[in-house]
Amino acid sequence: MVKIPNFESYKNRIKKFKQYKDLPDIEFNRIVKKLYTKKYRDVKEEANISDSVENEIGVWVNFEEAKEADKLYGDYINRNSITNFSDLALLKSLVFYEIQQKRIYRIINDETKKAITEKKIYHPDKQISTLNEINVQVLNLKKTLGLCEEKKSESPIEYINKFKAKCFAWAKEMHQQHRFKLCPHCGKELMFFMRPEAWEVYKHQFFSDKVLTNQHLWDMYKAGKINEWDVAMVLFGTGVKTVQYVHWLEKKIYGIKENKDPLLESGHEELKESGY
């Protein structure tokens, strides 16, 4: 009979090798499990049912049961991404109870077949009572680990809408630093052209340098043909609610005169009055 080593002792032995010393625990455990399974997967337990096999999940009556527990444990982790230490401990208990379920089912089936062959009546009352208790434990552990939630089926339209929302969010995140900026005056979002070298340079008529304005529009306003509200609505749209920007243009852009006293313009009226 080939003796199967304890998983923990096998792991401690592997840990001594140089290539595994600096690996994170999760990655190291994954590699060791793979090596352990590959090395001993074809080893059959030759002892009788009373002998036990131990791995990181628990102690089992034979090697086939130990492999079944290890596979079930790995499937749960891969499907549900369980990494929390306390949840892993609960998961081991869940696997233990589920293997007990399968063991009892096998016992009931074997005893029933034996009773049929011997033309006897078999009443598995004790096994069924134990099975009911285990079922309760399994259900409670699955609820605690969040493994009992039923997924609601989505309609095709809901799926498409969610997919569109994900694509839009991804595109916005990828290009927000390149294509979108907020206007410093109105606060609205502006979209800029990508690859500007492929476009013709065109100076917009409503900008003078970096200032939002229009000379012909301003000349009409100063000639009395339109009022300040007309100027504001042409520059900002019909929804504008203030003409404050027009007053700003009057003061900062078009209100500068050559004969204006620079002391008054700079706000130092007290210097003017004092004779300096």
Other beta carbons less than 10 A from residue 38's beta carbon:
9
Q: Is the pLDDT of residue 36 over 80?
A: no
Is the pTM of the predicted complex or chain greater than 0.85? no
Write the pLDDT tens digit of every residue in 228-269.
999 999 998 888 889 999 999 988 888 764 444 444 444 444
Rounded average pLDDT over 111-118 = 86
**Separation of alpha carbons 256 and 250, rounded Å:** 9
The segment with the largest mean pLDDT, out of 15-24, 99-108, 181-190, is 99-108
pLDDT of residue 225: 93
More confident residue, 128 or 182: 128
Rounded average pLDDT over 198-202 = 69
Q: Is the pLDDT of residue 37 over 80?
A: no
Sign of CA dihedral 176, 180, 184, 185: negative
Residue 62: pLDDT band (50, 70, 90) is confident
Q: Is the pLDDT of residue 273 over 50?
A: no
Q: Is the pLDDT of residue 213 over 50?
A: yes
| Closest C-alpha among 265, 225, 231, 226 to residue 246 | 231
Q: Extract the runs of DSSP E, i.e. beta strands, from the chain.
A: 53-54, 59-60, 180-182, 189-191, 207-208, 211-212
